[in-house]
Amino acid sequence: MFSSRLPQGLHANRVTLAVEAARASRATLLDLTETNPTVVDLPCADRWHGAFDGPMVGRYEPEPFGLPSARQTIASHVGDEGRIQPEQIVLTASTSDAYSLLFKLLADSGDEVLMPRPSYPLFDLLTRLDNVRSVSYRLDGDAGWCLDRASLERALSVRTRAILIVSPNNPTGSMLRAADRDWLVGLAATHSLAIIADEVFAPYPLAAPRNAVSLSGEDRALVFTLGGLSKSAGMPQMKLAWTAVSGPRAILDEALSRLELIADTYLSVSTPVQLALPRLLDAGHVRRSAIAARLRENLETLRSVISGASSLTLLEPEGGWSAVVRVPAVQTEEELVVRLIERESVLVHPGYFFDFDDEAYLVVSLLPRPDVFAEAVKRVARACHAGAPA
């Protein structure tokens, strides 16, 4: 009865069952997986209140790529010396929507998109839902999670249609280097491939290398660069994302024409949020500054705790909202995560959730309240020390 694009088994895993049991017992879990900026006591500027007032909010004037005024606002927001024009901006309700439009634009059923590993597990489901095959290439942990060029080249096939780059990566926090960008763009141009650049965490550098770069506005190959209010303004509830399309003029025009037809079929982004964009982006400066300060504070706390815990190693992030901690490989990640839930009332992500090559890693969000974060990471360090070999 149901589509094969969905996973056949939707049973809860051990971690989910442990979380459900803890909450059923009314235990207070210190959640180091929380990435919702609206629930972690961040200041919210009042500047966006009233942004949805006005007579135009009640009118419907559908535009496939979004209202011209909204696209102009985003072009000014993301543009680098005018390299991105309003007609190159495509608005959607979310980056997930944007991925779906791009897969429809670029790939037939069974075609392939290259995805980084480790990376966010949502990508596998997004490709499956559009009948596209996800093929992974490695990020090299020994080289600061730079893309492994040999791995990427081995992943190429006659069915490859696009290469996904996530910078800063989720969860490693690694950022694209200039040399890798130039190599990647050359590869894409040679093989007639598109590049999808997910840069939603770009506003949050933590210790970015001086040669970290963006793909926004890149015109040597067809590039789709993604961003949105969810991360850049800390407003996931507003449901607006954008894709900046760039590339050689001939292929760029063809891509935009075809993408317009697809976008016109779905018309996913709402009118009120587009009209409110200037006010929302203005308010977003306040929220973004607060998020950046929170990330730095919690990262410093994590460094301090780990410096006193010989059994733990912090893999320093260059940007984003997460950090990766290497832990003693004396038990599986799943066993450790379940033990942290049951004995320490702390919830973290296991590394396998993000498809690391091996164990043992934990992934923590840097977004929780500082008091919650500090207590939680102390408990993690204590539990890992107790479980480490003498």
Measured CA to CA, the distance from residue 364 to residue 361 in angstroms comes to: 10
Q: Which residue type does 75 have?
A: A
For 229-255, how does the pLDDT look when each residue is reduced to its tens digit (9 = 90+)? Answer: 999 999 999 999 999 999 999 999 999
Per DSSP bridges, beta strands 322-326 and 313-315 are antiparallel
Q: Cite the DSSP H helix spans in the chain.
A: 14-24, 68-78, 95-106, 122-129, 149-155, 178-191, 229-232, 249-266, 271-275, 277-307, 333-339, 370-387
For 132-151, how does the pLDDT look when each residue is reduced to its tens digit (9 = 90+)? Answer: 999 999 999 999 999 999 99
Q: Residue 390: its pLDDT value, please?
A: 45
Average pLDDT over residues 104-130: 96
Domain spanning 14-43+285-387: which CATH class is it, in words?
A: alpha beta
Topology (CATH level 3) of domain 52-281: Aspartate Aminotransferase; domain 2 (3.40.640)
Q: Residue 43: its pLDDT value, please?
A: 82
Average pLDDT over residues 363-371: 98
- Domain positions in the chain: 14-43+285-387, 52-281
Indicate the pLDDT class of residue 173, thresholds 50, 70 and 90.
Answer: very high
For 331-352, how does the pLDDT look when each residue is reduced to its tens digit (9 = 90+)? Answer: 999 999 999 999 999 999 999 9
